[in-house]
Amino acid sequence: MNVIPLRLGYLPLVDAAPLFIAQALGFAEQEGLDLSLHSAPSWSALRDMLAMGIVDGAQMLAPVPVAMALGLGAARTRFDALQLLNANGDVIGVSEPLAERMRAEGFAFDFTDAHSAGRALLQAAGGRLRIGVPFPFSMHTELVHYWLENLGQPLPELLEIRTVPPALMPQALEAGEIDAFAVGEPWGSHAVELGVGTLLLPGSAIWSFAPEKVLAVRRGWADANPDLAGRMMRAVWRACRWIGAPENRFLVSDILSAPGRLPISAEVIDRAVSGRLIISRSGEEREVPNLIEFFEGAANFPWRSQAAWIGMRLAARHGLNQVWAARVAGEVFRADLYRQHLRDAGADLPGASEKLEGALAMPTPVASERGSMILPADRFFNRRVFDPSEPAR
């Protein structure tokens, strides 16, 4: 059998796991792929590597292809998102001085309630709050904005959400350049490990089932290379399914911490994978079952409504038409290709390609091609529901 070379790019994060697993456990090989993985030093570098064809596909922040479709940012190409690599996985943390002030005012760091955490944060921050995020187009940025804007509290006079590369986040926190951060694991746990930060909330406390990373390709690539796209998508999807099986979780951490993958110990990576985080240097543990989800609840399905939500939020902040943005964004998440290539691999497929976002308070059965499938709770912390057919409402 002929082996087809395939190059995928990634950033060293826990949610690059599907790519590592697809390569390490033979899911790529099974599809006749010779998969090579290419680490990138930054999101802009990874975006450029994909745009220039140095890699065929890449792990990408879900809002990046959406922002590009809206003409935002410093790149002129367009990407398609073929599938989600995971839902959730971000954590929000605060500097040690800020954590101390919050504790002094009686906040218990329950790691659950976004309302009380937000109020405590704003009160302790006073007139100035600087939050580090990894990239301007990221779910970290979206979740932080959504959270702060919907607390019903006056925001600090000097509120700044600025870009800090994940690996430099602990340093910036310690140097007092930022007061808080939103970052993907393992970098939040790493900050706790270094004793420079205390974790305040998981991203899932703001939106309980948020799209996080996608598998992105250049626009049109998957349509022009259907066979290769199908092989790639199946290999990655099977890797996600393997990661999602609870009995494999320990192996995931071991595989991710192997030399040449993540520069973080298996023990620290395992906190994210198992959903048991150590939130402070005194060792307080918090359990978050949906901290990061690689498979369950159709986590890999690229709902057009998720992209529409991102597009609507970006448009609102950057002065673009929200109805237009939601429509253009929806076209970026290729639910059609997901159906085409993963149906025969065994993926159950929802009856619709968009849904109300934030409407499910608990796991709920919905119509699927095989009868019914369970979608997980997907509520926003403020109980708002996003209807993609009325994005500006």
**Would you tell me which residues interact with other proteins (CB under 8 A)?**
41-45, 48, 51-52, 54, 71-77, 134-137, 162-168, 172, 175, 177, 318
Closest distance of CB 245 from other proteins, Å: 33
Closest CB to other proteins among residues 51, 349: 51
Find the radius of gyration of the CA atoms of the chain: 20
Q: What angle do CA 58, 147, 123 make, to 5 degrees?
A: 135
What amino acid occupies position 24? A
Closest distance of CB 141 from other proteins, Å: 11
Residue corresponding to tokens 């790149």: 75
- Give the whole-angstrom CA distance, residue 103 versus residue 120: 9
Q: Are 36 and 54 spatial neighbours (Cβ–Cβ below 8 Å)?
A: no
CB neighbours of residue 180 within 10 Å: 23
Closest CB to other proteins among residues 39, 225: 39
Closest distance of CB 372 from other proteins, Å: 42
- Give the whole-angstrom CA distance, residue 99 versus residue 135: 24
Closest distance of CB 163 from other proteins, Å: 5
Closest distance of CB 54 from other proteins, Å: 7
What amino acid occupies position 47? R
Residue corresponding to tokens 């237009």: 324
Closest CB to other proteins among residues 175, 392: 175
Closest distance of CB 45 from other proteins, Å: 6
Closest CB to other proteins among residues 168, 251: 168
Closest distance of CB 269 from other proteins, Å: 20
The bridge status of strand 211-218 relative to strand 57-61 is antiparallel
- Give the whole-angstrom CA distance, residue 272 versus residue 289: 10
Q: Who contacts 30 (Cβ-Cβ below 8 Å, separation ≥6)?
A: 235, 238
- Give the whole-angstrom CA distance, residue 273 versus residue 207: 19
For 21, counting Cβ atoms within 10 Å of its Cβ (0-12 exposed, 13-18 middle, 19+ buried), the class is buried
**CA nearest to 345, candidates 300, 307, 293, 294:** 300
Q: Are 215 and 81 spatial neighbours (Cβ–Cβ below 8 Å)?
A: yes
Q: In the 8-state DSSP scheme, what is residue 204?
A: G
Closest CB to other proteins among residues 265, 368: 265
Closest distance of CB 71 from other proteins, Å: 8
Closest distance of CB 12 from other proteins, Å: 11
Closest CB to other proteins among residues 135, 380: 135
Closest distance of CB 52 from other proteins, Å: 6
Closest CB to other proteins among residues 136, 297: 136
What amino acid occupies position 287? E
Question: DSSP letter string over 141-193?
Answer: HHHHHHHHHTS-SPPPSEEEEEE--GGGHHHHHHTTS-SEEEEETTHHHHHHH
- Give the whole-angstrom CA distance, residue 387 versus residue 309: 9
Closest CB to other proteins among residues 173, 288: 173
Closest CB to other proteins among residues 48, 336: 48
Closest CB to other proteins among residues 135, 309: 135
